[in-house]
Every structure is written in structure tokens, then in C-alpha cells.
Amino acid sequence: MTKRPTLFSLILSMPLLLWQLLFFLFPLLFLVAISFWTVRNFQMTPDLNFGNWERVLSRGVFWDAYFRTMVLATTAAVVTSIIAFPASYAISFKMSEKAKRWMIFILIIPFFTSYLVRVYSLQVFLSDAGIINAAFAYIGLGPFPMLNNAFGIIVGMVTLTLPLVVLLQTFSLNFVNRDLIEAAHNLRCGRLRTVFAVIVPSAKVGLVIAALFAFILSFGDFVSPLYLGGGNPPTLSIMITDFTKSGQQWPRAAVVAIMMIITLLTAAFAAVTYAYKERGK
Amino acid sequence: MGNENRIINALLKLHIVLCLLFIFAPIAGSFVFSLNSDRFPSLPLGEFSTEWYRLIWEDPLVWQGFGNTLVVGLTVAVIATILGFGGAYTDFRYNFTGKSVYVALALLPPTIPVVIMGLAMLAFLSRVNLSGTTISVIIAHGVMCSPFAMAIIRLRLSQMDPDLEAASWNMGGNQWQTLRYVIIPFTKPAIFAALFITMAVSFDEFAVAWFVSGLNETLPVKILGFLQGQVSPRINAIGSLAFLSSMTLIILAQLLLRSPEEEK
């Protein structure tokens, strides 16, 4: 292998690089640029105007949406992680290799179903006259309001993220050294205590990363807040679609998008730092 | 102690069943509702009916959307797999300064929220007068799907004996011949798996396509339109058919990845 890149290596490596530079990185940078542009008569003109930033960031509506989105995504990440953990634990520690492979295959299936169709189906399950409340009515309970409120949004987000979180948790639990657990048992460490004192700390990185992915997916999701939460008050992603689709206010939508990216990068950095921090230091 | 263990194991099993029920109830539900006469199904369920399938069969807009989805999906699968193959081989074979940046840039798109991708794509593509065309959807889906293709093919390459390539060079094969007669045959199952999986991802992607597609809507974007309108069980019918086609692609991909040794 010579140090100078060969024509062969360039032909293989360059197409992907150029595609992602031109159609991925450049549009994202372009987003930063248009956040300073001005809109006149539905036309964007290049400018260096901080007006969009001032207008968006000085509004209570934006910060309400910001904290609402933050709380929803954090709740979804925590709830999903808690629901997922016993399942991942059972898959990783209690199942045969063959059963494990089947579970992984089954958990991959939802990624290839339409999230929209699932959310529409959830509407039928959750509405006041829907399947679940009809079942409750048989035993004389309800109806419980489950649609067009935060509960509906969280259900949607958990539906979206649960398969991924179980998969990521299972992979990290698979790497936990089995000798450690046996050692803990030999030292008369109880079952539950083994889980929290041995297994959770040794799989910490994977568990935190799984929760981070749930947070990122939920934070950017606009389908659950819109079709299970009723869309009002809006979340950040609904604000972006509103600004873009009806208002022709692309620069303001860009401001919201950049704020979201900054938040996600901060969250990712914090989570990774926390995940790799040594215990007791 | 043994008794306690059995109870805990039974509870864990029950928990898994409940999780799967939670994940798959909406999917199974949409199947059942698509064959139900009620516009808004509840308990007790209405009569068996194929009305919604007849409605979508007769809807020219659905066919148009299906055509667009097919054109986009097939094109994206080929583009993403070629790009992904190049990226996977580059990561497998070469070391160079900035390699981590190269790999990060290649794999990052799926972590960016789709609304942000959609907005960025729309702003950029309309600037170059491409927004509202089928090409714009292909470009956007190419960005989002190539990381999957790259990951699948990279995984297969890591199973390859590195001596295989060296042997080919020693026997006088140049890099192109080695690629043609050694690398591509070895990664063939992964290449097909990547084609199917990227196609399936493109089939179901609605958000970015919604931002950039304009009037050339793909089927998932049509579904979004139905959702914004009144209650329409046609969504269930389209969704069930889309699910069946995606599942076919996934199972094909899975079979290819599962028994790579028979594939020669």
C-alpha cells in the first residue's frame, strides 16, 4: 500500500463522501445561514439579520414549547428505559442463543413498519370510544382520557423507541462478564442486589446510550405530539413544520432547528461523559 | 430458593410478552381494522369487509403514490448500496488521516431528527431548484439510507479472511480484478441484503419526503395527508399492504445474511 491514494481507492471512497458533504453536511450548514436571512413577500433574501433569532428566542411560546418538548422526551426516555430493562435482562440472561436470535429478529420488525400507520392505529385503541375504553366499559370503568394529552404522546414515543432500547440494552448486557455475576452469587449477594450492584454498573455505557437514543428520537418526533397529543400546545418539531408548511417562515424554522441540534449535541455530550465516568471519582 | 426463581422467571417472561404485545398491538390492530366495516372500530368489532381495499384499489392518487414510492425506492436502493459499499470497503481497507471524520459523516444522518433533515433538505434543494421533484426525494433518501447499506456490508467484510485479498494480489490480480472476483462475490449476500433493507427504509420514510416531495408524493406522504384529513380506514389498508411488502424484503435480507456460506 502506497501512501498516496490510488485511483482505485478514490473511486470507491469518494462517491459517499461527496454525496454526504453535498446533500447532508452542506444543507445543515445552509440552515445556519438562512437563519440570518430575511423574508419579504414570501421570498427569502440573503442577509445578516439577527431579527429571526431575536423574534423566536424572545417569545414565551418558544420557551414553553422548548421545556414541554424537553420534559416529554426525558419522560419518554426514562419510561422506555425502565420498561425495557427487565425484558432486556430476561433476553440476555435467561434465553438460549437461538431464542435470543429470534427475539432480535422480532424486535427489528417494527423499524420497517410505518410509524404513521401505527400511530393511526393507536388512535383507534386510545380514543374515548376506542378499543381500550370499550374494554374498560365492559367492567364498568372509564372512559379514561388517553388521547390528545401527554399520556397519548408518551405512549406513541414509547411505541417508537421501545424496540430500539431493548435491542441496545440487550447488546450491552450480553457483554457483562458472567463470572462477575457468579462471584456476586458466591458472596451471597441477593438477586436484586446483583442486578443493581453488578449488572447495571457494568452495562452502564450501553444503558445510557440506549436512553440517549430514546431521548433523541422522542425529542425530534412530530407525529406523536401531533396525532396523539392533539398538536396544541406545540412541541419544537411541530413549530418547525408549522413555520415551514403554512407560514413560509423558513428562517424562523431554521432558528428552532438549530436550537434543537444544540440541545441534542449537549445531551449527547453529557450522556457520553456520564456513561464513561469512572465510578466513585 | 428454587421456587422463588421460578416465580421471577415466569414474571420476566410475562413482562416480555406484554412488551411484545405493546409493540405489535398497533401493527396487528391496523390489519384487523383494515378488514372491518366500521369507519372507527371499537368493541364489539363490526363485520368483515374488504371495502377499504376496494377504495384504495380504485383511487388513482394511491396508484400514483405507489408508482412514485416504487421509483424512489428502487433508485435509492441502488444508489445507497453503491455508496455504502464504497464506504464500507474504504473503512475496511484503508487507514488515512481524517478517517474517523469520514466514517462519522457517513454514519451520522440517521441520528438527525427527521424534521430538521426535512427542513435543511427543503431549504437547500429549493435553492438549487430541485424541491418538489422526485429527484429531491431520491437525494434525501440516499443520504438517510446509505449508512444502513454501509453498516451491513462493513459487517460482512469484517468476516472476510484478510489473506483472501492478499492471495489474489500475489497471484497477479490487480485491485479491480480482486474487487470483481474476490470482494464482490464474498459480500454478495450483504449487498443484496443492503438493497432490500434500504428499499424498505425508503418505502416507509414519510417525514423528509413530505418536506421535499411537493406534488410528487410517495405513498407514506399520502398517508400523512389522509391522517390530516378526516378519519379514514384506508390508512389501515395501505399500511397493511406496505407492511407485507416491507416484511417480504426484510425476510429476504435476513435469509441472505443468515446462510452466507451456501451463497456462492
Compute the average pLDDT of residues A48-64: 89
Q: Contact A117/B236, CB-based, under 8 Å?
A: yes
Compute the average pLDDT of residues A175-187: 86
Predicted confidence band at B119 (pLDDT cuts at 50, 70, 90)? Answer: very high
B142 versus B3: the higher-pLDDT residue is B142
DSSP character at residue A22: I
pLDDT at B1 over 60: no
* Residue type at B171 in one-letter notation: M
Position A46 scores a pLDDT of: 83
Q: Contact A9/B94, CB-based, under 8 Å?
A: yes
pLDDT at A268 over 90: yes
Alpha-carbon gap: A277 to the closest alpha carbon of chain B (Å): 23
pLDDT at A137 over 90: no
Alpha-carbon gap: A13 to the closest alpha carbon of chain B (Å): 5
Q: Mutation test of the interface with chain B: which of A13, A102, A158, choosing the one with the most B Cβ atoms within 10 A?
A: A13
B53 versus B81: the higher-pLDDT residue is B81
Predicted confidence band at A77 (pLDDT cuts at 50, 70, 90)? Answer: very high
Compute the average pLDDT of residues A11-36: 94
Q: Mutation test of the interface with chain A: which of B23, B184, B222, choosing the one with the most A Cβ atoms within 10 A?
A: B23
pLDDT at B240 over 70: yes
Predicted confidence band at B2 (pLDDT cuts at 50, 70, 90)? Answer: low
* B30: nearest CA partner in chain A: A121
Position B61 scores a pLDDT of: 83
pLDDT at B162 over 70: yes
Alpha-carbon gap: B85 to the closest alpha carbon of chain A (Å): 8
Predicted confidence band at A280 (pLDDT cuts at 50, 70, 90)? Answer: low
In chain B, what percentage of residues exceed pLDDT 70? 96
pLDDT at A128 over 70: yes
- Residue by residue, DSSP assigns chain B as -HHHHHHHHHHHHHHHHHHHHHHHHHHHHHHHHHTBS-SS--SSP--B--HHHHHHHH-HHHHHHHHHHHHHHHHHHHHHHHHHHHHHHHHHH---TTHHHHHHHHH-GGGS-HHHHHHHHHHHHHHTT-TTSHHHHHHHHHHHHHHHHHHHHHHHHTTS-HHHHHHHHHTT--HHHHIIIIIHHHHHHHHHHHHHHHHHHHHH--HHHHHH-TTS--HHHHHHHHHHSS--THHHHHHHHHHHHHHHHHHHHHHHHH-TTT--
C-alpha distances out from residue B9 to A94, B3, B4, Å: 8, 10, 9
Q: Contact A108/B235, CB-based, under 8 Å?
A: no
**What are the residue boundaries of the structural domains of chain A, listed by start?**
59-276
The mean of the pLDDT values for chain B is: 87
Taking contacts as CB-CB distances below 8 angstroms, the residues of chain B near A108 are 250
Position B4 scores a pLDDT of: 74
Alpha-carbon gap: A276 to the closest alpha carbon of chain B (Å): 20
Q: Contact B12/A115, CB-based, under 8 Å?
A: no
**Cross-chain CB nearest to B119 (options A31, A108, A117):** A31
pTM over 0.90: no
Taking contacts as CB-CB distances below 8 angstroms, the residues of chain B near A261 are 112, 116
pLDDT at A142 over 90: no
Alpha-carbon gap: A280 to the closest alpha carbon of chain B (Å): 31
Position B259 scores a pLDDT of: 60
Q: Please state, in angstroms and rounded to a whole number, the distance separating the CA atoms of residues B171 and B185.
A: 18
In chain B, what percentage of residues exceed pLDDT 90? 38
pLDDT at A1 over 60: no
Name the one residue in this structure whose C-alpha cell is 440541545: A263
Name the one residue in this structure whose C-alpha cell is 451456501: B262
Taking contacts as CB-CB distances below 8 angstroms, the residues of chain B near A221 are 113
Predicted confidence band at A3 (pLDDT cuts at 50, 70, 90)? Answer: low
Taking contacts as CB-CB distances below 8 angstroms, the residues of chain A near B227 are 116, 119-120, 227
Predicted confidence band at B263 (pLDDT cuts at 50, 70, 90)? Answer: very low
Q: Contact B176/A8, CB-based, under 8 Å?
A: yes
Predicted confidence band at B170 (pLDDT cuts at 50, 70, 90)? Answer: confident
Predicted confidence band at A213 (pLDDT cuts at 50, 70, 90)? Answer: very high
Predicted confidence band at B230 (pLDDT cuts at 50, 70, 90)? Answer: low
Q: What's the pLDDT tens digit per position in A103-112?
A: 998 998 888 8
Q: Contact B43/A89, CB-based, under 8 Å?
A: no
* A84: nearest CA partner in chain B: B19
Q: Contact A158/B22, CB-based, under 8 Å?
A: yes
Alpha-carbon gap: B187 to the closest alpha carbon of chain A (Å): 15
Q: Contact A120/B124, CB-based, under 8 Å?
A: no
* A248: nearest CA partner in chain B: B123
- A59-276: CATH topology is MetI-like fold (1.10.3720)
The count of CB pairs under 8 A between chains A and B is 227
Q: What's the pLDDT tens digit per position in B58-90?
A: 888 888 888 999 999 999 999 999 999 999 999
pLDDT at A257 over 90: yes
Taking contacts as CB-CB distances below 8 angstroms, the residues of chain A near B29 are 121, 124-125, 131
Predicted confidence band at A80 (pLDDT cuts at 50, 70, 90)? Answer: very high
* A29: nearest CA partner in chain B: B120
pLDDT at A139 over 60: yes
Superfamily classification of domain B55-258: MetI-like (1.10.3720.10)
